[in-house]
Structure 1
Amino acid sequence: MASSDINIERELKALPLETTTLLGAADSGRVVSRWLIGILLVLVAIMFLPWQQNVQGNGNVTALSPADRPQQLQSRIDGRIEAWFVSEGQFVKKGDSIVRISEIKEEYLNPNVLPLTQQQQSAKQSAIEEKLNKAAALSQLIERLEQQRDFKLQQTANKVLQYQAEVRQATLEDSVARDQLRRRERLFRDSLGLVSVNDLQTFQIRVQSAAAKLVEKQQMLAITQTDLQSIPAEYGEKIAKSRSDRAATLAEVSEGRSDVAKLKDKVGSL
């Protein structure tokens, strides 16, 4: 028994110690896994850090702080940025104060700029209403001028017809008077003592009177026809001037409305 125990012990010493080897291998794998997990955690942490790209280059540094760099901010009123309340890359929500802006226009420094602007807006609106009333009055004037032109054209045309009838009547009377005078002259030459000199002179006077009347009626007809032709030009000039004044007034109204819109926008921005 003793010799066999000794042999078994020798055989065990001769065998490799696998347990010890496995224990050493397990410790090495644990260390490697820890290193891998640590590196992975570092990489994940780096992903959530603020990232900024760096580029090498030559030059002079003008502003170390981002707040000192020239920056632009969209605003309804021009101004100069005095202070930043947020930093670059920071998340903001609606209603947060971003910057404090100081006015650069002297008119905004006036505490009465708002009431003065409102007064200007009211004055412009009143001026627009007055110009609209003027445009309406000019429209009525144009309408009256057109009515007067049409009435005068009709009236003068009637006069032309009247004088044309009177000229025809005067022409007939002149023709009758000349015919009577010719017969009296024939009787005066052919019959002795039947027609006196006074009767002959009376008919001569009638002829002269009829001729004068005919000339008078012809002149009146010519004058009336000239008036009829001049009426469109006379009233056309007045109507054209009134229309031009109305167009200019409406243009001023449009310009005034544009000014009112600008003042309204300015009041809303103050």
Structure 2
Amino acid sequence: MEKFIDTNIEEALPDTRWTAFKRIYRIQHKNNVKQWLLGVLIVLIVVLFLPWTQNIRAKGTVTTLRQEHRPQEVNTLIAGRIEKWYVKEGDFVKAGDTLLQLGEVKVDYFDPELLARTQQQIVAKQQSIAGYKGKAGTAETQARALNEARELKLQSLDNKLQQQQLKVVSDSTDLIAVENELTVYKRQIGAAQLMLDSGSISLVDFEKRKVGYQNALAKRISSENKLMQSRQELIALRIEKNSVVQDYTDKISKAEGDRFSSLSSVATTEADVAKLQNVYASYDIRNKLYYILAPQNGQVTKARKEGIGEMVKEGDMIVEVVPNNVQYAVEMYVEPMDLPLMSIGQKVRFVFDGFPAIVFSGWPSSSYGTFGGKVAAVETSVSYNGKFRVLVQEDTTDRHWPELLRMGGGASGIALLKDVPVYYELWRNINGFPPEYYKPVPATDKGGSGKKEK
């Protein structure tokens, strides 16, 4: 026992027949830690000099690039009562297909012959227009006839005036002749008086001359009266002419007034006809609105009204139609500090929910299951979540996006920036510096190589 205790186990181990000691202590095993450390160090150094693609990661959801490709609410323009459904949720419809039929709920539109009665009112008003136009034409003809009658009457009066003026001239001439004769008789009666006083003539001769003088004097008075009467007749003709002008003017004005009144009635009735035609068109369009039609090809979803007889108001949503053929896009939100790095045409890689992928963010070429995209729009106003919205469309030069992609699905976006060494990326992140990036070269730049410029 004492001999066994004094024996050195390490010296006796090589000669022992028990192998358990060798397996436990592994005295003859050589240590390779230095070689491993050296190898890991070399690998790390190599990795530090490998290229690393700087990127910006952001979450997003699948949407569409154009507004008309997004789910569309189908609303009713009129209030009504659901009469019949032609589709159910999940059905695929084409543009113009009938979705449901509405019934009328307003008393003003209950009359089934509403369109026919409105058309009758329009026809009656149009006949009134024809009557008013005929009346206006008659008044115009009457005014024209009165004008012609006035011209004829005035011409007749003008002729009478000319004749009367000639008569006045003739009477004036006669008066002058009578006055000349009276002057002669007056001189002769004076000479006869002297001759009578001297006894040269007899009293009988004197009386004869005196009678001649008296006759000439009476003739002058008669000529003066005749001239005055002619002048009075001339004045009366002029007054008659003015009276005729006034009378015919009054009659013509009345006819013109009737004509303009009829034309005013025509305009008023035409306005009533236009209003009735507007009402008729509104009734006709309303009748067509009883049938709710699909605005475009798509699938019917989210029916907000159920059953038969349920009431709907103006503008109420009936169903939602999701278009079939859409141009998908991804809307993602980036931090304000990353916004300057985003530009139109920027390359983005996506991982869609439900589609497996292996992602190496720094080595996009080594990733599997990702899909390419290009930035289509960058909004300049901040969104409700404090970030900026970016729309990314499919990159047609890359792998096509999945056909089973649906709107509202999630997507993880990786915006690719500049290629830098790994050590530079580590140094940048430690110091908090922003990543470097290239701006896309315009397609019109023929001298470019298709790469990005700083």
- Please classify the TM superposition score into its range, dividing by the shorter chain length: 0.5 to 0.7
Give yes or no for contact 2:185–2:209 (8 Å, CA) kept in 1: no
Checking the alignment, whether the CA contact within 8 Å between 1:117 and 1:267 is kept in structure 2 is yes
Q: Secondary structure at the match of 1:215?
A: helix
Distance of 1:136 and 1:217 partners within structure 2: 45
Change in CA separation of 1:143 and 1:47 when aligned onto 2, cut-off 3 Å? closer
Counterpart residue number, 1:61: none
2:80 is equivalent to residue 81 of structure 1:
yes
Partner of 1:255: 268
Q: Aligned partners of 1:174, 1:218: CA distance in 2, in Å? A: 13
User: In 1, distance between residues paired with 2:174 and 2:242?
Assistant: 29
Alpha carbons 2:79, 2:105 under 8 Å: kept: yes
Structure 1 residue aligned with 2:128? 127
Give the Å deviation of 1:267.
4.1
Classify 1:202/1:120 alpha carbon distance in 2 versus 1 (closer, same or farther; 3 Å).
Answer: same
3-state SS of 2:136 partner: helix
Counterpart amino acid of residue 269 in structure 2? G
Between 1 and 2, higher relative CO (CA 8 Å, sep ≥ 6) is seen in: 2
AA in 2 matched with 1:96: T
Query: Which structure 2 residues correspond to residues 130-145 of structure 1 after superposition, within 5 A?
Result: 130-145=131-146
Question: For residue 186 of structure 1, what is the aligned residue in structure 2?
Answer: 187
Structure 1 equivalent of residue 104 of structure 2: 102
Which structure has greater strand proportion? 2
Shift of 1:103: 4.2
Q: In the TM superposition, what whole-angstrom CA distance separates every residue of 1:152-186 from its partner, at most 9, and x where no partner exists?
A: 22222222211111111000111111221222232
Partners of 2:231 and 2:215 lie apart in 1 by 24
Q: What's the % identity of the aligned pairs?
A: 24
State the one-letter code of the partner of 1:227: E
Amino acid at match of 1:249: S
Relative to 1, partners in 2 of residues 1:103 and 1:155: Cα closer, same or farther, differing over 3 Å? farther
Deviation readout 1:180-210 (Å, 9 max, x if unpaired):
1222232223224253444333222211111
Q: Does 1:164 align with 2:177?
A: no
Q: Give CA deviations for 1:197-229 in whole Å, capped at 9, x if unaligned.
A: 443332222111111110011111122223334
Give the C-alpha shift of residue 119 in structure 1.
Answer: 2.9
TM-score, reference length from structure 1: 0.62
Q: CA deviation at 1:46?
A: 6.9
CA RMSD of superposed structures (Å):
4.0
The runs of 5 or more residues in structure 2 that have no matched partner are 1-28, 30-58, 65-69, 197-204, 288-454
- Partner SS state of residue 110, structure 1: coil
Q: Cα 1:142–1:46, aligned 2, differ >3 Å: closer, same or farther?
A: closer
Q: Is the 8 A contact 2:104 2:110 kept in 1?
A: no
TM-score (norm 2): 0.39
Aligned equivalents of 1:228, 1:99: Cα separation in 2: 78
Deviation per CA, 1:2-42: give whole Å up to 9, x if none.
xxxxxxxxxxxx9xxxxxxxxxxxxxxxxxxxxxxxxxxxx
Contact 1:81 1:99 in 2 (8 A): no
Q: Distance in 2 between matches of 1:159 and 1:264?
A: 60
Q: Residue 223 of structure 1 aligns with which residue?
A: 236
| Residue aligning to 1:10 | none
Alpha-carbon shift at residue 151 of structure 1 (Å): 1.8
Give the corresponding residue for 1:151.
152
The answer to whether 1:238 aligns with 2:237 is: no
Distance 1:46 1:165, change over 3 A: closer
In the other structure, the counterpart of 1:25 is none
Tell me the alpha carbon deviations over residues 98-117 of structure 1, each in whole angstroms, 9 at most, x when there is no partner.
5515242x342134434433
